[in-house]
Chain A
Amino acid sequence: MIPISWYLVLAAALFSIGLFGVLARKNAVAILLGIELMLNAVNINLVTFWRYNAPAEVTGQVFAIIVFAVAAAEVAVGLALIISIYRNRKTIVADDLDMMKW
């Protein structure tokens, strides 16, 4: 069996890529994509720990499915926000959206 650490490294790498995307990309849609990557990294962790620690239960998978569902809802809301922002400001570059400053 593949050692557990491989999966954890994969998940960590995916999480870091996602984090980088969230912090460095300027396009709001790309930021949303980064968030999705981070969520999926969490999913990998959940499923990995389930498979190695308690394979007789389905808890890890159920958690992962809940994360999917929440992520889908989150993307729907996020995209709706982005569309709404685009309609008002004609841009989705995160740096141009600085209405919240002093």
Chain B
Amino acid sequence: MATETLIWLLPLPPLLAFFIIVLFTNKNKKLSHIVGVSAAALSWAGAMVIFFRSLGVEHFGEHPFTDSVKWLPLGNSWLEIGVRIDPLSAAVLFFVGITIFMIFLYSVGYHNFGQPKGDHDKFGLPPHGATVEDENGHKHVVPSVEPMYSRFFAFIGLFAAGMYTLVISDNLLTLFVGWEIMGLCSYLLIGFWFAKKSARNAGIKAFITTRIGDVFMLLGLAFLYSTTGSLQYEVIFSEEMIHALASVDVGFLGLSAAGAIGVLLFIGAVGKSAQWPLHVWLPDAMEGPTPVSAMIHAATMVSAGVYMTIRIFPLLSAGWDGHTLTPAMSMVAFIGAFTALFAATIAIAQNDVKGVLAYSTISQLGYMMAAIGIGAYVAAVFHLVTHAFFKALLFLGSGSVIHGMEHGVLHTGNHDLDPQDMRNMGGLYKKMPVTFWTFLIGGFALSGFPLVTAGFWSKDEIFADAFAHGHLTVFITLALAAFLTAFYTMRQITMTFLGEARTPEAEHAHETPWTMTTPLVVLAFFAVTYGWLGIPEEFPGLGALSSNWFHHFVGHTLEHPLPTFEFSWIPLITSFTVSLGGLGIGYLTYRNYKAGAVDPMKKLLGPVYHFIENKYYFDEAYNYLFVKPAIWISEVFTNKMDQGVIDGILHSFGKAAFAIGTVIREKFDKPVINEFIGDGTAEVVQIFGRKLRKVQTGRIQEYMLSAVGVLLIIFVALYYLVLA
């Protein structure tokens, strides 16, 4: 098959799976997951074929796979849509395909396929477990299958279709379409257990918060389309167009038209990739099932924001001479670096095993944004890919831990215990060896454990770039964030897996089935080896063995050559220090953590810890600044405007009519009619009214029927009387 045709077909299998599951197989759980998982496998296979074919093309950056069709006629012009796989999208496609496939597979085990139906499980609530009797007549409580199993696969299928659409797009329009499909799926899947109030609220919060970003993004798209007349990458990112856009001044903050469009689009990415100040939705999104957290809120959807920002890099960097950052770039760098540090500080005080990972995701996305902001976009792509692997691994690992803990909860029957709280864990390395070792690999990759893990190479590249180009503020901020990252990762590993079990539930935890552990092993493989593709050639010792394939492959996406820089020991030593230091201090602080003990950091930080633990009170602040006023306005409108003014006007009409009626009755009816004519008229009216009131049935459809009938009569009459 021609590669272009294959690219067009890529989003199709998951999309079809969505419709097949919703329309036909939703009653049959087995058939539903077969459809879902095989669709994901097909798309993954297609993505791999495209990826490996792209490796065979010489100068792939200048000759990407492209194909487009005319889609929407607009007067004299056409809106064109199409597909494009260039080095950047090929690299993204690679990890998107693998992570999506792995997460589909994992979901089968996560939702307890093969287990009996729950005793009193309801739609919209997580499964509570089922009682089974073994051959000896002993009753056991075992996990029960998710009641909305088929629906889950339908939703993630639609999500996968959205992500593939986004990656293969050759224009910002279809990218935006995929973007919004994912936004919808994110809402549906966060609120998957819709009978829980917290999940419902989290879904609404995620949807509304990302919508704020999307409105700005849409404005950016409109601005871009109105100035250039196209949304295709090829046209808008061409040398002349960028130059033309860069020379227009919009008269706001010193931004050129290119910069203004870039900033508007970037705000969309801020919402999607949960950057400060729109980060608040991502931690709450952990209400959804864990495969969702892994897929949407760590590996793919939140990466979409970074991917788009990398795409629009030519707009952000228009007019950049390689030294002084453009205003748009400084803004991206500031938001990214600030978010990286800010989210990392929150993560050290979280006790929910997924909560730590949520803030860690925000922080790592901040890294990528900061890297784009300082012009190191290849490093950003590299970190995007490695992060997707290890963060998906960590999320799936945490899901496995929660699953194991739920096993313990079912065993002891203590349903008040939170199976996600790390304070209740400990010693799980004995119970769940596969989960432990893969989680350790993921955690070390996230901390940037030197030389071995992928996270080290990608982070090191960002450090080196920031240092070499003299962006010292960004460099120091990111180094601090990296230190905190290593610290909270080790805290998490120590509290969860090491030491002794702190609750009886943790003692009865159990390793999860193969459908859950296989994805962990596969992702752990990539979390280590992928980094070796991007070892810089200048690196002492190892550099001689490496060809820095990744840098050369992705670097040619944009036409102008990348600035190169000299090797320096300072960022490398920093990188070693922060990761090993953070890991070591994290281990030493938490190795003796006992059940019910006060968190060691709490003793150290005192009131500051309280502040961090409550996420700097951002939720509360937004509640007072935005949510409360919105509710207040709607209350004013209902009570004062609608019931007061509008109803008041209507009531005064009524009163006026009543007053006029009274006057007529007193002055005319009683003295004149009653005196001279008598009751005859009234009786006639009453008779007619009795007969006619049957027409007024109160049934709206009968009214409509008569309205349609009368209209027909009028039309027919008009036609024959006037026209004929």
A101 touches B698 (CB 8 A): yes
Chain A residues lying within 8 Å of B69, measured Cβ to Cβ, are none
Q: How far, in angstroms, from A102 to B462 measured CA to CA in the complex? A: 76
Which B residues contact A (CB, under 8 angstroms)?
73-76, 693, 696-701, 704-705, 708
Q: Is A23 an interface residue, CB under 8 A from the partner? A: yes
Given A55-B73, A57-B75: A23 touches B697 (CB 8 Å cut-off) = no
22 contacts between A and B (CB under 8 A): A22-B701, A23-B705, A51-B73, A55-B73, A56-B75, A57-B75, A58-B74, A58-B75, A61-B74, A94-B699, A94-B700, A94-B701, A95-B699, A95-B701, A97-B698, A98-B697, A98-B698, A100-B696, A101-B696, A102-B693, A102-B696, A102-B698
B-contacting residues, A3-23, CB 8 Å = 19, 22-23
Given contacts A99-B698, A101-B698, contact A19 B693 (CB under 8 A): no
**Which chain B residue shows the least CB distance to A97?**
B700
Partner of B704, one of A22, A51, A101: A22
Q: What residues on A are CB-neighbors of B76 within 8 Å? A: 56
Which listed residue (A23, A56, A58, A102) contacts B708, Cβ 8 A?
A: A23
Interface size on A, residues (CB 8 A): 19
- The minimal Cβ–Cβ distance linking A52 to chain B, given in whole angstroms, is 13
When chains A and B are docked, how far (Å) is the Cα of A58 from the Cα of B72? Answer: 11
**Chain B contacts for A56, CB-based, 8 A:** 75-76
B70 to chain A, nearest CB (A): 14
CA distance A61 to B75 in the complex (A): 9
| A98 surroundings in chain B (CB, below 8 A) | 697-699
Residues from chain A with a CB closer than 8 A to the CB of B697 are 98, 101
Tell me the complex Cα distance, A24–B704, Å. Answer: 10
**Whole-angstrom distance from the CB of A58 to the nearest CB of chain B?**
4
Beyond known contacts A23-B701, A94-B701, A102-B693: 12 more, CB 8 A cutoff: A51-B73, A56-B75, A94-B700, A97-B700, A98-B698, A99-B698, A100-B698, A100-B700, A101-B696, A101-B699, A102-B696, A102-B698
CA gap between A10 and B75 in the complex, in Å: 23
Contacts of B74 in A (CB 8 A): 58, 61
When C-beta atoms are compared, the residue in chain B nearest to A100 turns out to be B698
Rounded to whole angstroms, the CA-CA distance of A58 and B74 in the bound complex is 6
Instruction: Give the Cβ gap from B102 to chain A, nearest Cβ, in Å.
Output: 37
Which residue of B has the minimal Cβ distance to A25? B701
Q: How far is the CB of B194 from chain A (nearest CB, A)?
A: 15
Enumerate chain A residues within 8 angstroms of B708, measured Cβ to Cβ: 19, 23
Closest-by-CB residue of A relative to B689 is A102
Contacts of B696 in A (CB 8 A): 100-102
A99 to B693, CA, bound (A): 14
Q: 8 closest pairs, A vs B, by CB? A: A101-B698, A98-B698, A100-B698, A58-B75, A102-B693, A101-B696, A102-B696, A98-B699
Interface string of A43-54 (1 = CB under 8 A from B): 000000001000
* A57 to B77 Cα, complex, angstroms: 10
Contacts of B699 in A (CB 8 A): 94-95, 97-98, 101
> How many whole Å from A78's CB to the nearest CB in chain B?
12
B634 CB to nearest A CB, Å: 13
Q: Closest B-chain residue to A96, C-beta based?
A: B699
A68 to chain B, nearest CB (A): 14
Known contacts A94-B699, A102-B693; is-contact A23 B704 (Cβ 8 Å): yes
A61 to B699, CA, bound (A): 36
Instruction: Determine the distance from Cα of A57 to Cα of B76 in the docked complex, in whole angstroms.
Output: 8
Measured between beta carbons, the chain B residues less than 8 angstroms from A51 are: 73
Query: Whole-angstrom distance between the alpha carbons of A98 and B73 in the complex?
Result: 47
Q: A19 CA to B705 CA in the complex, in Å?
A: 10
What B residues does A58 contact at CB under 8 A?
74-75
User: In the complex, which residue of chain A has the Cβ closest to the Cβ of B75?
Assistant: A58
